[in-house]
Each structure stands twice: as C-alpha cells, then as structure tokens.
C-alpha cells in the first residue's frame, strides 16, 4: 500500500484519449489508482513544407485543477516515458501555464461596471430605445 515514485508516462484510456502526464501509482485496498499531474494532450501539426511541430493543450479545458485520479481499470495501456524532448515540452508547458495564471488580473469594479445579465440587458435595451 502507498504511493509509488513519480514518473512521466503516456496513458491511453479505454475512451480512446491519449494523455501525457507526471504519474504516481497508488494502491488502496483492492484497486490501483493513478494520480496524474497536469495532464496534457499533444497534437502533431504539419505545415505545407512538411515541417512537423506539436501543439500542446490541457487534457481538461474547463478546470483549473492540476491533479486528477484515474482508476487503473479505465486505462488501456500505460507507457513510461524517458523521451527527454517530450518531458522538456511537458515541463515547459506546465511552467508557462502556471505563470499565466499568476499574471492574470483579478476582476474588480475599477475595471468597469460589474452587473448580472438581467441588469445589463435592461440597460442596453434602454440605450437602444433612446437612440
């Protein structure tokens, strides 16, 4: 029982998704769970001159969480990665995304009027009718 040492891996889920992440395996009672950190999806992009590049996106785009738990029974295959280029791309992406979160300004009333949809709709309709 306990958590094994972290490693980088490509994970193919039974849903068909392929993700790359820093992984730690955790055994609890009768099942094994994977704790994945900042999972990403990588797309290969080719331009007209056949130059190959990569596009990196977060695995889940609608959350700011960076740690997820996956049941090992949901994994089709897992391949530990020692590919230095892939690991460097991953680490660069994680550093850049954490910097972007730190630099985003917080919403405040000094930025402008903050309202709800109903109030904004009423104000805009009044402006429209007056013009």
> What angle is formed at CA 64 by the lines to CA 103 and CA 32, rounded to 5 degrees?
140
96 by DSSP, 3-state: which?
helix
Residue 127: is its pLDDT beyond 90? no
Domain that holds residue 98: 2-104
CATH code of the domain containing 87? 2.30.30.100
Phi-psi region of 20 (alpha: psi -120 to 50; beta: other; left: phi over 0): beta
Number of domains the chain contains: 1
Contact 35, 22 (CB under 8 A): no
Phi-psi region of 2 (alpha: psi -120 to 50; beta: other; left: phi over 0): left
How does pLDDT run across 69-100, given as a tens digit for each residue? 999 999 999 999 998 988 998 998 898 887 76
122, part of any domain: no
pTM beyond 0.95, yes or no: no
H/E segment holding residue 91: helix 84-103
How does pLDDT run across 18-44, given as a tens digit for each residue? 999 999 998 888 888 999 999 999 888
- Say how far apart CA 20 and CA 56 lie, in whole Å: 10
90, part of any domain: yes
């Amino acid at each position: 029982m306990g958590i094994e040492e972290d490693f980088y891996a490509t994970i193919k889920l039974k849903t068909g998704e392929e993700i790359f992440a820093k992984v730690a395996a955790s055994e609890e009672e009768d099942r094994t769970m994977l704790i994945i950190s900042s999972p990403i999806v990588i797309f290969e992009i080719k331009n007209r001159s056949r130059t190959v590049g990569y596009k990196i996106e977060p695995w889940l785009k609608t959350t700011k969480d960076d740690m997820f738990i996956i049941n090992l029974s949901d994994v089709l295959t897992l391949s530990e990665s020692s590919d230095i280029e892939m690991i460097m791309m991953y680490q660069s992406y994680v550093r850049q995304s954490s910097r972007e979160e730190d630099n985003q300004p917080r919403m405040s009333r000094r930025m402008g009027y903050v309202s709800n949809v109903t109030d904004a709709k009423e104000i805009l309709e009044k402006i429209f009718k007056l013009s």
